């Protein structure tokens, strides 16, 4: 009897169902991975983003905290640009210059049964903030400004919901006034204005530009700068970082000096680390000489010793000018100098270890082929090995720059006076001690965010080297 043919395990439609199920499974796995990565990115970048937004606020300590701030409103950008153009012909950074005529409007809710009274407008003698800005000689807009009386320019029926949730009926009244700069005089950076109403029940609603704060139980609408310009309004704290923090003796911007000092130290350490660590790592990986293993053991031992253990001996060496050698270029001591910080950290043991381990992964056949072509040892190092070491050099550049840029303890020990010689992390500590006591955290956050930007930019530029293989320079282009 003929045997019946074997039936397939699945038919055509069953195979399609399996393929669709496998595709959905792959997409589900990819979705889970990307969701986890997104959560981690929010976890790590969230504090930085919140600090960045808070650095734009006039009062970062406000409660409850919010990301919907006036400095991110396009309406306020437009109003600030118009006011800056009217104040000094500068829509970006604003100001208050001779011939200025700055128009402004404020709106109040007047409850039913209460007669609306025009507010009193004044230009106070107000400094930009506490701390270092409180000891500087500045020009006050109050010495040159005059204000026209506030006049009613509009009125319409309206309502208002108070703190208890009750809806009040009444009128919404708008007043207009102008701030004039009559006569000659200097251009003033800031135009502070206070708008005060007599009746507490007359509630502030809105104005041409968002107010800085409400004072005296809501009676005074205070503006730190009525003609800020679009960028001056949004990045006011960042501008203050450079303008207010100035040296008392030289008048130079301390924040700019701190930033330049950190750049000089970080760039010098990057160059010296790449040069010495690559040569030392190559010698330990490729050359044969007496004491090679002992040197490698000492390098491993040096990585185990924290910097706090030998900082006293290093301090004494810098104090004496590296046993008097610094007198050759006219310095009796290397304390309070950038050269002292640089010379004490030209290369680290960890950098030598990284380059040594990387060079050992490069095939020797590549160098042997170059040797057959008649290249010398130095030519093989610079023309063959170094191009192949780009991934390690890129990683070393990021790690060295980040370590030197964020280094706090050693510069704090070496660099004490004057203020101009300090690095950025120490300068931020100065901001913390001076402005933190007055509650001016916007300026501190602005300085902290700016200090993080170079590291972020450097990582974006060199991150591709982390993904490159060792054979980057070994193949033909």
Integer Cα distance of 12 and 19 in angstroms: 11
Q: 63 in a domain, yes or no?
A: no
- Judge if 320 and 403 occupy the same domain: yes
- Judge if 328 and 469 occupy the same domain: yes
- Judge if 415 and 462 occupy the same domain: yes
Digit-by-digit pLDDT tens for the chain (477 residues) are 455 555 554 455 667 777 788 878 888 888 888 788 778 777 777 788 888 888 898 888 887 888 888 999 999 999 999 999 999 999 999 999 999 999 999 999 998 888 888 999 999 988 776 666 666 778 889 999 999 999 999 999 888 777 767 778 888 999 999 999 988 889 998 999 999 998 778 889 999 999 998 888 888 999 999 999 999 999 999 988 888 878 777 778 889 999 999 999 999 999 999 999 999 999 998 888 888 889 888 888 888 888 778 888 888 888 888 877 778 777 788 888 898 899 888 888 889 998 998 888 888 888 888 888 788 888 888 888 888 888 888 888 888 998 999 999 899 989 888 888 899 999 888 888 888 777 778 888 898 899 988 888 887 777 676 555 433 334 444
Nearest by Cα to 158 from 146, 148, 169: 169
Interval 219-244: pLDDT, tens: 899 999 999 999 999 999 998 888 88
Which residues, at least 6 apart from 312, have a Cβ–Cβ distance to it below 8 Å? none
Integer Cα distance of 301 and 345 in angstroms: 17
- Judge if 194 and 329 occupy the same domain: no
Q: What's the CATH number where 361 sits?
A: 1.10.3720.10
pTM: 0.79
Interval 258-297: pLDDT, tens: 999 999 999 999 999 999 999 999 999 888 888 888 988 8
Q: 49 in a domain, yes or no?
A: no
- Judge if 239 and 281 occupy the same domain: no
- Judge if 145 and 233 occupy the same domain: yes
Burial per residue of 299-322, b for 16 or more beta-carbon CB atoms within 10 angstroms, e otherwise: beeeeeeeeeeeeeebbebbeebb
- DSSP run (H or E) holding 136: none
Which residues, at least 6 apart from 174, have a Cβ–Cβ distance to it below 8 Å? 105, 106, 107, 108, 152, 153, 154, 155
Whose tokens are 């008048």? That residue is 251
Integer Cα distance of 327 and 308 in angstroms: 27
Nearest by Cα to 101 from 83, 117, 116: 83
> Can you give the residue range of the structural domain that contains 138?
70-244
């Amino acid at each position: 009897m003929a045997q019946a043919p074997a039936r397939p395990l699945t038919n055509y439609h069953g195979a399609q169902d399996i393929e669709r199920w496998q595709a959905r499974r792959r997409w589900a796995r990819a979705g889970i991975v990307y969701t986890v990565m997104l959560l981690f990115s929010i976890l790590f970048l969230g504090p930085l983003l919140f600090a960045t937004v808070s650095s734009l606020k006039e009062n970062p300590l406000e409660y409850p905290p919010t990301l919907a701030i006036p400095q991110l409103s396009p309406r306020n950008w437009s109003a600030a640009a118009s006011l800056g153009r009217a104040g000094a012909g500068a829509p970006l950074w604003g100001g208050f210059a001779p011939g200025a005529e700055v128009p402004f409007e404020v709106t109040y809710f007047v409850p039913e049964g209460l007669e609306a009274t025009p507010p009193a407008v004044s230009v106070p003698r107000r400094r930009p903030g506490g701390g270092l800005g409180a000891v500087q000689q500045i020009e006050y807009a109050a010495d040159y400004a005059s204000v026209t009386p506030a006049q009613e320019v509009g009125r319409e029926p309206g309502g208002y919901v108070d703190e208890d949730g009750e809806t009040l009926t009444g009128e919404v009244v708008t007043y207009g006034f102008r701030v004039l700069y009559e006569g000659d005089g200097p251009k003033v950076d800031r135009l502070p204005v206070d708008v005060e109403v007599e009746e507490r029940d007359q509630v502030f609603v809105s104005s041409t530009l968002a107010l800085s704060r409400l004072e005296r139980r809501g009676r005074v609408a205070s503006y730190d700068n009525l003609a800020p310009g679009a960028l001056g309004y949004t990045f006011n704290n960042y501008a203050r970082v450079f303008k207010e923090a100035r040296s008392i003796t030289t008048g130079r911007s301390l924040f700019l000096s701190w930033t330049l000092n950190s750049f000089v130290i970080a760039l010098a350490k990057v160059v010296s680390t790449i040069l010495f660590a690559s040569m030392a790592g190559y010698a330990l990986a490729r050359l044969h000489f007496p004491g090679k293993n002992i040197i490698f053991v000492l390098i491993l031992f040096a990585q185990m010793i924290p910097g706090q253990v030998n900082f006293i001996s290093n301090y004494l060496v810098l104090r004496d000018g590296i046993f008097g050698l610094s007198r050759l270029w006219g310095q009796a001591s290397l304390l309070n100098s950038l050269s002292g910080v640089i010379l004490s950290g030209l290369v680290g043991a960890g950098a030598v270890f990284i380059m040594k381990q990387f060079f050992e992964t490069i095939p020797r056949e590549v160098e042997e082929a170059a040797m057959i072509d008649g290249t010398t040892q130095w030519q093989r190092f610079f023309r063959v090995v170094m191009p192949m070491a780009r991934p390690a050099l890129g990683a070393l550049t990021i790690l060295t720059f980040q370590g030197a840029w964020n280094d706090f303890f050693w510069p704090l020990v070496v660099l004490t006076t004057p203020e101009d010689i300090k690095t950025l992390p120490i300068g931020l500590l100065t901001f913390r001690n001076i402005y933190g006591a007055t509650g001016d955290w916007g300026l501190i956050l602005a300085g902290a965010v700016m200090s993080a930007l170079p590291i972020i930019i450097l990582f974006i530029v060199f991150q591709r080297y982390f993904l490159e293989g060792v054979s980057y320079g070994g193949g033909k282009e």
